[in-house]
Chain A
Amino acid sequence: MEVSVKFGKNEFDANIEKRDNRFEVEFEGKKFIADFEPLSEKDGNLIVDGKSYHVIFTNNSVYVNGVHFDIETIDPLKKELLKSTMLEKDEGAIVTSMPGNVKRVLVQEGEEVEAGQPVVVLEAMKMENELEAPKSGVVKKVNVKENTPVEANTVLVEIE
């Protein structure tokens, strides 16, 4: 089975086949034989080259012996289609990765900002966190007001 893999900034193709309860895996010019034993719906034991690993799967992550990895896997055909249909990710958007309360908005629309300049102060879990501008530019839009709650993945401020 052909699979496209994305790990960090690297994207590459991999192949995985199952023979006699073992997986033969190939990527980046390397070949592996893996013995996988599920322990529950979420985790299992993996033996590769005689080394034993506890692996856990959550919605979008793999944990190997407790260490977390974000790895994306997709059918190569779907990947090609996605590329042609997906909009370019806006690199000027300041998005909150967690829900919280907007404590302060430090910029106004039309204001020039430097990369790394604090833009919004978000309060969550009793701590104030400064969210910084991902790039230098002009504030195109401020989508939030002070002292209002926001959900995760909200675009707070847009910079162009």
Chain B
Amino acid sequence: MFKKVLIANRGEIAVRVMRTLKEMGIKSVAVYSDIDRKSLHVNVADEAYPLGGKTSAESYLVMEKIIEAAKKSGAEAIHPGYGFLSENEKFAKMCEENNIVFIGPPPKAIVSMGDKVTARRIMQEAGVPIIPGLEKDGLSEDEAFEFAKKVGFPVMIKASAGGGGKGMRKVENESDFSKFFRQAKSEALSSFGDDRVYIEKFLEEPRHIEIQILGDKHGNVIYLGERECSVQRRHQKVIEESPSPFIDEEMRRKMGETAVKAAKAVGYYNAGTVEFLVDKYKNFYFLEMNTRLQVEHPVTEWVTGIDLVEYQIRVAAGERLDIKQEDVKLKGHAIECRIYAEDPEKNFMPSPGKIERLLTPSGPGVRDDSGVFEGAEVSLYYDPMISKLTVFHRNRDMAIKRMLRALDEYVVAGIKTNIDFHKKVLTHPDFVKGKYDTTFIDNNIDSLLERDDKDRDVAIIAALIEYYSKEDKPSKKPVNKSSRWKDYAKNCWTI
């Protein structure tokens, strides 16, 4: 087993990986940009090496710097987390060339499955149903537009090298096509350094359901149930749950076996996720494969009792999986809410700044994977996700109630977050019934954004007490002998 592992990432996922490393008796090495000197992951790690730079492009995406830090620290392996270099085949190869183990799939599998266009082709050859689409290198706007007219709107434009909703646009009509096509290309370029996009038909009432797989270097691959990820905004997942309220045992088996077949087709090992779109008739279509650990992996960990990061590390070290498919038993229900630094009332604009006060939930069945602390600065240079709150209970209804309780305990002051928005989703009748698809947020946005002002009077009382306390304090400033009118003019509204 490894003695030291470097985590080529930041924030909550770096901390999450470090926790498992500690439990396994493995030393953890952090890397950090100039902005992240005070970040939580640096503090939690056993060792830390600076990368310099502010943006991801100047730090976490510079492969040479990461490799150099690994060599300097003597780390035998690198865990890439998610995002950044986690699905970068060049980086996986560079690790190999430097005798460092990349904790992830083989580079060949990253190429095959990481590139959405190639992945669709492989799946088609393997007989897995795929959504009608057009993918080719150098796809022009005109070609894409012709295809869209042929299959009919709405269509989806997606980054070939993409994921996480970046470089992805749904186009409802002809007049929006040009604008969204260009936006998707430009976002793909800035997010992945690759502006290739492809286009596909948008399924009506689609649900996004994904299968978690785990494989070793000895050809064993198992699936660990599914995650329902249909609560999305701008193609970014907001809430995930496992199991899905939509699928039954038989469908789970079919999807799971298809996912395993897909993984074996490319010689896959380590943790991976096969994403499917499921229509209302329970037909499922291959969407894409994520060749890395997913943000939402904790819900699978809750219901299977398996630490996915631990198995990623064991598999990377060459161990055989000690879990067989028949050993995998799903138990209870888990939900995840992604806590974003954003302002739902202002079109979900990111909200960077200082976390003035932070109270995180705990208690039975609650897990908060956080990358921040009270006093931390949420930087505008990185992703706005500050934590992942997950809960577990014996059934879905109880899990929803537990999540609402946990969200009530969660207080982040100083920046705006989507905590209240989550409460609105979790109490929406359609969500409670499990009857929702990927259009849920868009279709219910007005009711989900309604403010809860039941404690308005209490807030006003509090503001008045704060004002009174400030005014009541004898001023420490020297008495200003000039006209008070000037002071009044300088003042503005304050609490």
Please tell me if the beta carbons of B459 and A62 are within 8 angstroms of each other in the complex: yes
Given A6-B493, A65-B455, A69-B459, are A23 and B465 also a contact pair (CB < 8 Å)? yes
Q: How far is the CB of A60 from chain B (nearest CB, A)?
A: 6
Q: For A103, give the chain B residue with the smallest CB separation.
A: B186
Bound CA span A71–B495, Å: 7
- A98 part of interface (Cβ distance < 8 Å): yes
Chain A, interface residues (CB within 8 Å), range: 35 or more
Bound Cα distance A72, B196 (Å): 49
Confirm or deny: B322 has a beta carbon within 8 angstroms of a beta carbon on chain A. Answer: no
Given known A23-B468, A34-B461, A46-B458, contact A61–B495 (CB-CB < 8 A): yes
B465 adjacent to A53 (CB under 8 Å)? no
B346 on the A face (CB < 8 A): yes
Q: How far is the CB of B165 from chain A (nearest CB, A)?
A: 9
* A9 interface contact, C-beta 8 A: no
Cβ of B489 under 8 Å from chain A? yes
Number of B positions contacting A (CB below 8 A): 60
Q: Mark A45-88, 1 if CB is under 8 A from B, else 0.
A: 01010010111111111111111110111110110011001000
A19 within 8 A of B: no
The 0/1 profile, CB within 8 Å of A marked 1, for residues 472-495 of chain B is 100000000000010011011111
Stretch binding the partner chain, chosen from A25-33, A107-115, A136-144: A25-33
Q: Which B residues, 453 to 474, have Cβ-Cβ distances below 8 Å to chain A?
A: 453, 455-468, 471-472
On whether the beta carbons of B357 and A73 are closer than 8 Å, the reply is no
Q: Are B411 and A129 neighbours in the complex by a CB distance under 8 Å?
A: no
A64 touches B350 (CB 8 A): no
Q: Is A92 interfacial (CB-CB < 8 Å)?
A: no
Closest residue on chain B to residue A54 by CB atoms: B411
How far apart are the CA atoms of A46 and B383 in the complex, in Å?
Answer: 35
Q: B190: which A residues are within 8 A, CB to CB?
A: 103, 123
Q: For chain B residues 428-473, which have a beta carbon within 8 Å of chain A?
A: 452-453, 455-468, 471-472
**Which secondary structure characterizes the binding site on chain A?**
strand
**Measured between C-beta atoms, what is the minimum distance from B57 to chain A in Å?**
11
The answer to whether B357 touches A127, judged by C-beta atoms less than 8 angstroms apart, is no
Contacts of B56 in A (CB 8 A): 126
User: In the docked arrangement, what's the CA distance between A72 and B491, Å?
Assistant: 13
Interface residues of B in 334-348 (CB under 8 A from A): 341, 343, 346-347
Q: Is there an interface contact between A58 and B413, defined as CB atoms closer than 8 Å? A: yes
**Measured CA separation A14–B465 after assembly (Å):** 11
A-B contacts, 27 of them at CB < 8 A, read A5-B463, A25-B464, A32-B457, A36-B462, A42-B357, A48-B458, A54-B359, A55-B458, A57-B462, A57-B466, A58-B357, A61-B413, A62-B459, A62-B462, A62-B495, A64-B462, A65-B455, A68-B416, A69-B456, A71-B495, A82-B489, A98-B350, A104-B186, A125-B341, A127-B350, A128-B187, A129-B347
Which of A's residues lie within 8 Å of B, judged by CB? Answer: 1, 3, 5-7, 14, 16, 18, 23, 25, 27, 30, 32, 34, 36, 42-43, 46, 48, 51, 53-69, 71-75, 77-78, 81-82, 85, 97-100, 103-104, 121, 123-129
